Amino acid sequence: AADREHAPQLKSGENANIQPNPGLILRAEPTVTNILKTMDADHSKSPEGLLGVLGHMLSGKSLDLLLAAAAATGKLKSFARKFINLNEFTTHGNEELAKAASVRALLFDISFLMLCHVAQTYGSEVILSESSTGAQVPFFETWMQTCMPEEGKILNPDHPCFWPDSTKVESLVALLNNSSEMKLVQMKWHEACLSISAAILEILNAWENGVLAFESIQKITDNIKGKVCSLAVCAVAWLVAHVRMLGLDEREKSLQMIRQLAGPLYSENTLQFYNERVVIMSSILEHMCADVLQQTATQIKFPSTGVDTMPYWNLLPPKRPIKEVLTDIFAKVLEKGWVDSRSIHIFDTLLHMGGVYWFCNNLIKELLKETRKEHTLRAVELLYSIFCLDMQQVTLVLLGHILPGLLTDSSKWHSLMDPPGTALAKLAVWCALSSYSSHKGQASSRQKKRHREDIEDYISLFPLDDMQPSKLMRLLSSNEEDANILSSPTDRSMSSSLSASQLHTVNMRDPLNRVLANLFLLISSILGSRTAGPHTQFVQWFMEECVDCLEQGSRGSILQFMPFTTVSELVKVSAMSSPKVVLAITDLSLSLGRQVAAKAIAAL
């Protein structure tokens, strides 16, 4: 009571939904004790009475309140264990009548859904029993460990756990496809749950090959979710693992099937407590599907929340500057060595909230703080994976704003020293190559359709070395319209900015091409200047990484934007003065490129 005096007051309805009232939890504690006593009784004697108790637990917010009370009093593991025993009891039905079969189906379903909900809310370790040799592992534990999607656990859809006896799968497919509704009498629900994944694959294949129409799929999904919601949970668990392995263009039918399974069945002929069970099922499916839906930008309406898609709500801590959140989450990811799905969602939220420049600039600052070589290499790999959230835009900002800012400001040169400088050079080359290779594959027709105003905006954003207007004009003129001007190098003397990209008539009005050309002009001017320092060392690392990553003499690489005059400057650097490097950085498909290479090699 004294602690509650200082607790923040929950005023809004939204907060009240997130955090139950402590007073209600305290009042629910005796109810937990009574439920545990009820669960200790012999299930076979009065299953209807037990079903009544469980049905009341499902209504409204009762389940979360009772679980919170059980967790607060240290009884949650005992609670889970009793539900596992109940679930195990209901897996077999011997010579039962229709009413007993429906009660058994409901007990199986409610216990299964509750255990899934507990695992998702409190963690799967609450469910797992202490390993005892020789004891048979209950069905739910086996299913949860091998088949249930959880954060940080990637499932293999071809794992043997998803592929039981083929005769059971065939009979289940026939039952789902031919019957008007699921049979209940003597149904082995645990076997149905284990067979449903293989059955779903058969049904998906039949649908994709035109054997089954969409109406048949609707009937099958209605049968799956119509009586026992657990079957739908098991089916979606496999579909989530399956969708992860498919290309974006192959996912449509699998996602459509998830959508069909997620909605409730509007029918008179459902079992007791159907609406309550559907709410819990929807909550479970929503958590299971969150990552896959985020990846594919798919929206599925889940009945429990009534919203179109499940955003990662409350991911960002309240009342904290987003820069602090970014540095903290990056530090945790760097320490761990990999980016988990929750962190990816936080990075994505921060990218949208802070913008590309803010996001990229602050993460590069974090990289430049690292002083140990192994940490910087790990940071590069992690940043490259994080930047894949929007690689094209991040590359434009990194090469067009952040690197030029570091290379031209002498007060920042100290930050480019080894090891962070080497790491930044590596990251910049990786981003440039990744963006350029994916960008190159896109149709140029889209570029031609760009409005002139957009292009002019980008020209003002990324001016190409405005200290030398003549160089600027020559570079800007090299687009498709006036390719003939540059087609022959003998038409004019070789200028300090002439590069292979101009002779290949690359469109210099494209933002990425402009940014690359601008960066290589800057590199050329740094190599040609009389001032040496960490920035010249950085240029050497950048070029070395380019050489390491590119095939020898490859046409159409990012090095085509390097002015030909840079080659003679570069070979003056001792580490770069070798024929191998010269041949790697010049475009040997061009006559001028071969002349430049021959001259540089002769001067070594």
Give me the pLDDT at residue 124, please.
84
Q: Report DSSP letters for 273-335, one per residue.
A: THHHHHHHHHHHHHHHHHHHHHHHT-----TTT--SS---TT-SPTTS-HHHHHHHHHHHHHH
Output the pTM of the full model.
Answer: 0.53
Q: Are residues 285 and 347 in the same domain?
A: no
Q: Are residues 324 and 286 in the same domain?
A: no
Query: Which of 235, 265, 293 is where one domain is finished?
Result: 293
Give CA–CA dist 587/578, Å, rounded.
Answer: 16
Query: Which of 435, 452, 476 is where one domain is finished?
Result: 435
Residue 30 covered by a domain: yes
Residue 485 covered by a domain: no
Residue 289 covered by a domain: yes
Give CA–CA dist 169/152, Å, rounded.
Answer: 29
Residue 236 covered by a domain: yes
Q: Are residues 30 and 87 in the same domain?
A: yes
Give me the pLDDT at residue 385, please.
95
Residue 244 covered by a domain: yes
Residue 110 covered by a domain: yes
Q: Are residues 400 and 371 in the same domain?
A: yes
Q: How many residues are present in the chain?
A: 604
- pLDDT category at 436 given cuts 50, 70, 90 is confident
- What is the average pLDDT across 488-517? 66
570 or 558, which is more confident? 558
- pLDDT category at 177 given cuts 50, 70, 90 is confident
* C-alpha neighbours within 13 Å on the C-beta side of residue 112: 29
Express each pLDDT in 278-297 by its tens digit. Answer: 888 988 888 888 777 765 55
Q: Are residues 146 and 191 in the same domain?
A: yes
| Averaged confidence pLDDT in the chain | 77
Query: Which of 415, 435, 455 is where one domain is finished?
Result: 435
Give me the pLDDT at residue 234, please.
93
Give CA–CA dist 589/593, Å, rounded.
Answer: 7
The CATH number linked to 338 is: 1.25.40
Residue 455 covered by a domain: no
Give me the pLDDT at residue 352, please.
81
- pLDDT category at 17 given cuts 50, 70, 90 is very low
Q: Among 88-97, 159-168, 301-310, 548-557, which is the least confidently predicted range? A: 301-310
What percent of the chain is predicted at pLDDT more than 90? 17
What percent of the chain is predicted at pLDDT more than 70? 76
Q: Are residues 567 and 420 in the same domain?
A: no
Q: Is the pLDDT of residue 358 over 90?
A: yes
Give me the pLDDT at residue 551, please.
58
Task: State CA 249 to chain mean position distance.
Answer: 17
Task: State CA 448 to chain mean position distance.
Answer: 33
- What is the average pLDDT across 375-401? 94
357 or 599, which is more confident? 357
Q: Are residues 287 and 350 in the same domain?
A: no
- What is the average pLDDT across 408-428? 91
186: left (phi over 0), alpha (psi -120 to 50) or beta: left
Give CA–CA dist 80/29, Å, rounded.
Answer: 16
DSSP code of residue 59: S
Q: Are residues 319 and 276 in the same domain?
A: no
314 or 128, which is more confident? 128
Residue range(s) defining the domain that contains residue 114: 20-128+136-293
Both tokens assigned to 334? 């760097």
Q: Are residues 501 and 405 in the same domain?
A: no
Q: Are residues 318 and 178 in the same domain?
A: no
Q: Is the pLDDT of residue 97 over 70?
A: yes
Structure-token match 């940080």, residue found: 152
Q: Report DSSP letters for 137-180, one per residue.
A: PPHHHHHHHHH--BTTB---TTSGGG---HHHHHHHHHHHHH-S
First-to-last C-alpha distance (Å) of the chain: 83
Q: Is the pLDDT of residue 50 over 60?
A: yes
- pLDDT category at 307 given cuts 50, 70, 90 is very low
Give the three-class secondary structure for 125.
helix
Q: Are residues 250 and 149 in the same domain?
A: yes
Give the three-class secondary structure for 499.
strand
Give me the pLDDT at residue 311, please.
43
- pLDDT category at 315 given cuts 50, 70, 90 is low
Give CA–CA dist 389/384, Å, rounded.
Answer: 9
Give me the pLDDT at residue 426, please.
94
Both tokens assigned to 244? 């992860």
Give me the pLDDT at residue 6, please.
60
Burial 422-453 (b: 16+ CB within 10 A, else e): bbbbbbbbbbbbbbbeebeeeeeeebeeeeee
Give me the pLDDT at residue 527, please.
82
Give CA–CA dist 381/513, Å, rounded.
Answer: 25
- pLDDT category at 480 given cuts 50, 70, 90 is very low
Distant-in-sequence contacts of 206-210, Cβ < 8 A, 24+ apart: 207/253, 208/253
Rg (CA), the chain: 32
599 or 196, which is more confident? 196
Q: Are residues 87 and 192 in the same domain?
A: yes
Give me the pLDDT at residue 235, please.
93
Give me the pLDDT at residue 481, please.
35
Could you give the residue ranges of the DSSP H alpha helices within 441-578?
A: 445-448, 452-461, 469-476, 483-486, 500-503, 511-528, 534-549, 565-570
What is the number of domains present in the chain? 3
- pLDDT category at 248 given cuts 50, 70, 90 is confident
Could you give the residue ranges of the DSSP H alpha helices within 371-468?
A: 373-387, 391-397, 403-408, 420-440, 445-448, 452-461
Residue 237 covered by a domain: yes
Q: Is the pLDDT of residue 474 over 50?
A: no
Structure-token match 């539900």, residue found: 83
Q: 98-122 and 189-208 helices cross at what angle (nearest 10)? A: 80
